[in-house]
Chains A and B, each alone.
Chain A
Amino acid sequence: MAQDLVGFSSDYQFWMQKLSLWDQASTLETQQDTCLHLPRFQEFLRQLYEVLKEMDSNTIIERFPTIGQLLAKTCWNPFILAFDESQKILMWCLCCLINKEPQNSEESKLNSWTRGLLSHILSGFRFDTKEVGLFTQGLGYVPADYCPGLLKNMVLSLVSELRENHLNGFNTQRRKKISLPTSAVVCLWLRHLPSLEKATLHLFEKLISSERNFLRRIECFLKDSLLPEAACHPAIFRIVDEMFRYALLETDGAPEVLVAVQGFTRCFVEALEKKNKQLKFTFKTYFPYASPSLVTVLLQRPEDIPQELWHQPLKHISEMLREIVEDQTHGSYGGPFECWFLFIHFGGWADIAAEQLVMSEAEPSEALLWLLAFSCSPHDGSPQRAQTMVEVKAVLSRLKKLLRSPILSAKDLQAAAAESQDRDPRPPLCQQLIRRLLLNFLLWAPGGHVNAREVIALMAPSDEIAHDMTGFLDQTLYRWDHLRMEAPRSRKLARELLAELRMVGTAMQGPGSPRPRDVMRRPFLRGMSAENEP
């Protein structure tokens, strides 16, 4: 008990000093310091109350001669009073000082002083001008009547200011400005989940409703939203990631969401690298359910590895994924959906795998084939996946033969990609994969000049497919920029095809026409995910 009191005494001294320092919380620094200490100070107030309630007024003054100062300074600090239950506990403490029957003038004065402080806490802080005070009085209202409404209006108006600033980018000149530094925004998100969710939803709306197939703009939106940077805090990353996962499931794996996830991850990794010196968290904190070695390999940047050696990490990734996916017991790393969700964060690897398969002279490697098949159809059982791999292999070998011909025609390509008549028709996702391989081939094959328009006409008979191809080309060009790949002829061709597709796209889309619906959906994602709740 004695030891408690000793500990308490030193706490008391500590807080007395702090309160003197904070004064009335007038500068930014004192305000920040105050806010950081609010929970601990409240604890101290509780302990103080427990001590004071056992004593009578005179004993309190004897034991704590400076208690008056402590309580007064606390009463004048609006930050303390606005926090949680501090104001209530403070009032309890003050009540302990009240003397029921003051015997002398000193005790009377103490009573009076204490009542003054209590009154101040409840009615003291002025928040209106003289004019406003006269107005409200004239209407017959007291502050207790309108204070809640006033606070609500103030908070609503601040929140909508912040939201407007956020939607329009913090750099916009506004008539009324609230500029929060990034660190403050992150603080808000860390403490108030609904704000974070709203910010993420706004980002989704922006990414998904407009500017499809313009990765550069998507990257701008992402960076402006401050979310990738904020996601360096694992807590924020996990929540945003969860929202992405949900969006993916709800939209059956819509391509826009995939692109958004990849873009977000790219910006996030970039932000993480910038903070490298202060990096406190291991990758496991961001991806707790994934295999650490897999995450490490996925996080490697292809631009840091010589192109000739890309097949190594690809093989590694493929093998690790395959092991997890084909493990019947589902181990501790989740099932196919979790693996796939993790993998598509770093979707660039799948694109590189496709390129490698098309460009290399050697036999297509099983690992790469598996990786591609998995990435496009994660839900497939082993037989279907094997079938896809066989089909792709067949198309690739036909394409390799075409490599030797000096002139390529669109019809040649079509023939190479043709489905064999005696088998089941290819599922749409497999068809999409084949189409992308064809495009890759087109971009890299040295032979002849192909008529871009002819190609598009043959390969993109419908809006959806044209849309898919536009996205693919945009992503490819973007990737080449990032990897600094020199390929002037390929780039030129890619840009031509992209321009052609975009023109066709806008021609097809009249003012009132509905947006092209994507057939590349994966409704089975839901089934996959449900069984793998960790």
Chain B
Amino acid sequence: MESLLQHLERFSELLAVSRTTHVSTWDPTTVRRALQWARYLRHVHRRFGRHVRIRTALERRLRSQWRQKGASGSAAVPGLNFQALGRCDLLLSLRLLENRALGDAACHYLLQQLFPGPGVPDADEETLQGSLARLARRRSAVHMLLFNGYGENSVLEESVLKTQAELLLERLGEVPKAEAEGRSRFLSTLWDRLPQKNFLKVIAAALLLPPSSPRPQGEELELDTPKTPGEGGQELVHWLLARSDVMAAFCHDLPVGLLASVAGRHPEFSRAYLGLLTDWGRHLHYDLQKGTWVGAEPQHVSWEELYGRFQSLCQAPPPLKDEVLTALESCKAQDGDFQVPGLSIWTDLFLALGSGS
């Protein structure tokens, strides 16, 4: 077991080095050894994938190897996980191929190994040549679909978001539950580090993933990883609600209809969202001259926007729709239960929605 773990360590180092100029010192023998190690680890992945103890040990060791990136000293960037071991030879090959520092002789040897040509018998069930060809094929296919205008872009943009959401949940699942607050901290780090607009969209997509979609590799193991997006989704919601700054950005930036969908799926979120909306509503006062509700400051949300959001929520199926109306009614009652417009924003909203719904 220990030798296996050492092997893993050495390979991770190798993988890191393969991107650097250090490879200029490599000769064909080095390349051969590197590929052998990769092949061995692939074999390990296949052989011990369902063996809980070994897999756990390997995952733990891999996680401890994630190096820190950036000067900020924040948490580690995730790296190789157990699943990736299943294609570690592919990953290594790609890095070496892209590395201009690799010498001619080493490169020539590498290419011979990677692309032996037709008629090579398949001792292993899957050759590296096949995997590389498949990757090239898929990349071109994705590029082709994205840039040749099949349908409107939104159809495919959603797929890109969905894929990012799946990746997010996968990583989230790798943070062990035992680590106190581990998952919140992980999400917070991501929020600080990654482009935020995109991150918000990905969170929404993750919260809307179908509950029964299986994990990519479909392996069932009794580890403390969330098996379904359902669990990961819960964690996301909790984190989102705990971070008022993220929540505010989430509710401000994302399209109104999308928020309504998320609210429909996650009751905790819908409650918090309603709370936010009532907060926003309280900042508006009635301007007699203009004859409409306005905010005291420019950053306050406008009447139209508030109305739009409530309208969108009311278009959702019950129980959300009913919840929203109940909340509005209770606000209206607290405010004095006026029936005429211009006195309470909740009355006005209620009236406006009533005529529409």
Contacts and interface: CB of A to CB of B under 8 A. Distances in A.
Interface of A: 31, 49, 53, 78-79, 81-83, 85, 87-88, 91-92, 95, 98-102, 108, 111-112, 115, 118-119, 121-128, 130-132, 134-136, 138-151, 153-158, 161, 176-178
B87 A144 contact: yes
A118 B102 CA distance: 14
Interface residues of B, number: 62
A115 B216 CA distance: 32
Contact of B98 (A81, A123, A149): A123
A155 B158 CA distance: 12
A158 B97 CA distance: 33
Interface string B122-150: 00000001001101111111111110101
A100 B103 CA distance: 10
Contacts of B118: 92
A129 to B, nearest CB: 8
B8 to A, nearest CB: 16
B137 A150 contact: no
Nearest to A176: B155
Contact of B198 (A31, A135, A155, A176): A135
Nearest to A157: B159
B104 A101 contact: yes
5 contacts: A119-B98, A150-B159, A151-B142, A154-B142, A158-B156
A79 to B, nearest CB: 6
The 6 A-B residue pairs with the shortest CB-CB distance in the complex, in nearest-first order: A140-B78, A178-B151, A81-B140, A88-B133, A125-B143, A153-B159
B151 A177 contact: yes
A126 B140 CA distance: 9
Interface in B139-178: 139-146, 148, 150-152, 154-156, 158-160, 162-164, 166-168, 171
B216 A81 contact: no
A155 B150 CA distance: 11
Given A118-B97, A144-B87, A178 B150 contact: yes
B282 interface: no
Given A144-B91, A154-B142, A122 B132 contact: yes
Contacts of A115: 97, 100, 107
Contacts of A123: 94, 97-98, 139
Contacts of B5: none
Contacts of B193: 138
Contacts of A153: 159-160, 162-163, 166
B273 to A, nearest CB: 23
A149 B66 contact: no
A339 B94 CA distance: 62
Contact of A144 (B94, B152, B194, B199): B94
A149 B163 CA distance: 7
A31 B148 contact: yes
Given A123-B139, A132-B164, A138-B193, 8 more contacts: A95-B111, A95-B115, A119-B98, A123-B97, A125-B140, A131-B195, A140-B171, A157-B155
A98 B111 contact: yes
Contacts of B274: none
Nearest to A111: B104
B258 interface: no
Contact of B141 (A31, A99, A132, A151): A151
B198 A144 contact: no
Given A82-B137, A140-B66, A150 B142 contact: yes
A151 B133 contact: no
A98 B158 CA distance: 41
B242 interface: no
Nearest to A134: B195
B34 interface: no
Contacts of B146: 127, 154
B133 A87 contact: yes
A88 B129 CA distance: 8
Given A95-B111, A115-B107, A178-B150, A132 B160 contact: yes
A327 to B, nearest CB: 54
Contacts of B133: 85, 87-88, 91
Contacts of A149: 163, 166-167, 216
Contacts of A87: 133, 136-137, 140
Contact of A177 (B100, B142, B152, B198): B152
Contacts of B129: 88
Nearest to B156: A154
Contacts of A49: 117
B152 A148 contact: no
Interface in B73-109: 77-79, 84, 87, 90-91, 94, 97-98, 100, 104-105, 107-108
B127 to A, nearest CB: 11
Contact of B194 (A79, A83, A118, A138): A138
Contacts of A154: 142, 145-146, 156, 159-160
A256 to B, nearest CB: 33
Interface string B192-232: 01110111001000000000000010000000000000000
B325 interface: no
A20 B317 CA distance: 56
A83 B111 CA distance: 22
B150 A122 contact: no
Contacts of B151: 158, 161, 176-178
B190 interface: yes
Contacts of A130: 195
A150 B160 contact: yes
Nearest to B154: A176
Contacts of B150: 158, 178
A128 B143 CA distance: 9
B134 to A, nearest CB: 8
A122 B94 contact: yes
A125 B142 CA distance: 9
B143 A126 contact: yes
